[in-house]
Amino acid sequence: MLAREKKILVALTDADGCVFNPLAEWLQLHIIANYQEFLFKYGRDPESYRQNQRIIDEKLTELLRELEQATSYQNGSPVQVQGLEPVPLLMEKILKLLGFRDPSTLDSSDRDTILLDAKTAYRKYLSHMGPLGQKVLDQMVLCANKPFLTELAARVTAEQFDLLVLLCGSNRQSKALDDFNNEENASGSFFPMMITLRDKINDLLSAGTSGVKCVLDMFLLADLYGELDPGVSFKLILDVLFNPSHQREEEEKHHDYIFDQKKFSLVYAMLHHLARQYPKDKITLAFFEDREDIYMALMKAFKANPDLMPKNIVMEFWPYSGNLPRNKHIRTNDIDGLSDEKIVAVQGTGETDMNFYENVLKIAVLSGYDEDTHPSIDSVSDMDFDEFRRQRKLTSDTPALADDFLVSPVPHSATLFGSRDMQREVTVSTAAQAGVSRLLDASPPQDDYSKFTY
């Protein structure tokens, strides 16, 4: 008897500006501005929690109620915010608490740096306050994403999906980029937050009758570039976060990846990873992204090249920075539908790329990647899609390749572009570097790609 085709909903979600959205920052500023004395008194010293647990837990319980009441959401409407002062007033209040009597005398750069330091410090103070302190940090993000969480849980029931999968669609595809964005935004790591999102969605699902679960798929591009099994990098990152003493001994196991400004190689990898995981099932991939330049570029690229998508996947584009599109219930394949806040959907027509680990490296090569002169790529703009079709092989005819890549990785220094186009030093394994070099050797002369360098 043939197994029934399952319906799978996948939420491929961005982090900065999306899950870590402006409302989450607003709630964070509210907490700092109104609980500064409490946080400073009890959060600076990790030992303080043990000595003052009852007092701290009572105040944190009050704070959790306040966060929950500050935001409300009804299906189809924008999030309603109650009891929060406007962001500019909260910023001014925080700066005055920090000793700046006239914040207007600060230039914007100094102001932003001071506020970032404050957000970083008070995240640390809350993390010192036991389980409820961590719950407050989580609750800021959960309350800021009620539309996202509610929509996914409701849709599973309404459309009778058999499984909900949560997957990282952020450029935080490695420890280095996650660390960098955390330092830039004081948001915390995205990887524990994905676990929190999964758990919250499962709480919402358990209130219904569908019996469906949300699972977290831990695949990252760091796995691909390090030639690791899917999920290994995610688990290594969690290990360091929850066991800081492992930082040094685990450092050489972390890999980075070639940053793709419009995320084409990222999404390509995720699409074919999913198709390999669920080859006989019907997959709806909902891509949540706040940046218009990214989702527009990807919509146009996949609409023009649906054969590069597996035929058992339809990809939906959800502009999201805290509120859902007004006409989210309407699907269209017309990009102009975005202006009416409809959801643009593209149906894949191609075969599953069983060799996508190597073909993502080909995307980097064909996009002009060069470690020194072109360390990040924009494959949507720079890659010849027809040439990629000619060069990619959907199955590997070099089985030894995996063994070559699975040797103990020795980090290789490379300058890549971090999120928001900020440069930083990260590591790409010599295995991945060798893979790129190997593909370069099989490609047209490097001179052909000179126009891509900068």
List the pLDDT tens digit at each of the 454 positions of the chain: 567 899 999 999 999 999 999 999 999 999 999 999 999 999 998 898 989 999 999 999 999 999 999 999 988 789 999 999 999 999 999 999 999 999 999 999 999 999 999 999 999 999 999 999 999 999 999 999 999 999 999 999 999 999 999 999 999 999 999 999 999 999 999 999 999 999 999 999 998 777 899 999 999 999 999 999 999 999 999 999 988 766 555 565 789 999 999 999 999 999 999 999 999 999 999 999 999 999 999 999 999 999 999 999 999 999 999 999 999 999 999 999 999 999 999 999 999 999 999 999 999 999 999 989 999 999 999 999 999 999 999 997 643 333 322 222 323 333 333 333 333 333 444 444 544 444 434 333 232 322 222 2
Query: Which pLDDT does position 248 carry in this prediction?
Result: 56
Buried b (16+ CB within 10 A) or exposed e, 64-79: bebbeebbebeeeeeb
Per-residue tokens: 221: 């591009």
- The residues, ordered by sequence, that sit 6+ positions from 285 with a Cβ below 8 Å of its Cβ are 10, 12, 270, 271, 274, 313, 314, 315, 316
The total number of residues written for the chain in this structure: 454
| Contacts with 382 (C-beta within 8 Å, 6 or more apart), sequence order | 366, 367, 368, 452
Residue that the structure tokens 């920090």 belong to: 98
CA dihedral 69, 71, 73, 77 (to 10 degrees): 140
CB 362 within 8 A of CB 187: no
Q: Give the pLDDT score at 207.
A: 84
d(C-alpha 367, C-alpha 90), whole Å: 44
Task: Note the pLDDT of residue 409.
Answer: 34
Which of 331, 310, 276 minimizes the C-alpha distance to 155? 331
The pLDDT assigned to 254 comes to: 85
Both structure tokens of 430: 């010599």
Q: How far apart are CA 256 and CA 177, in angstroms?
A: 8
Tell me the three-class secondary structure of the chain, residue by residue.
CCCCCCEEEEEEECCECCCECHHHHHHHHHHHHHHHHHHHHHHCCCHHHHHCHHHHHHHHHHHHHHHHHHEECCCCCCCEECCCCCHHHHHHHHHHHCCCCCHHHCCHHHHHHHHHHHHHHHHHHHHCCHHHHHHHHHHHHHHHCHHHHHHHHHHHHHCCCCEEEEEECCCCCCHHHHHHHHHHHCCCCHHHHHHHHHHHHHHHHHCCCCCCCEEECCCCHHHHHCCCCCCHHHHHHHHHHHCHHHHHHHHHHCCCCCCECCCHHHHHHHHHHHHHHCCCCEEEEEEEECCHHHHHHHHHHHHHCHHHCECCEEEEEEECCCCCCCEEEEEECCHHHHHHCEEEEEECCECCCCCHHHHHHHHHHHCCCECCCECCECHHHHCCHHHHHHHCCCCCCCCHHHHHHCCCCCEEEEEEEEHHHEEEEEEEEHHHHHHHHHHHHCCCCHHHHHHHCC
Q: What is the pLDDT of residue 75?
A: 82
DSSP β-bridge partners for residue 310: 350
Residue 1 is predicted with a pLDDT of 54
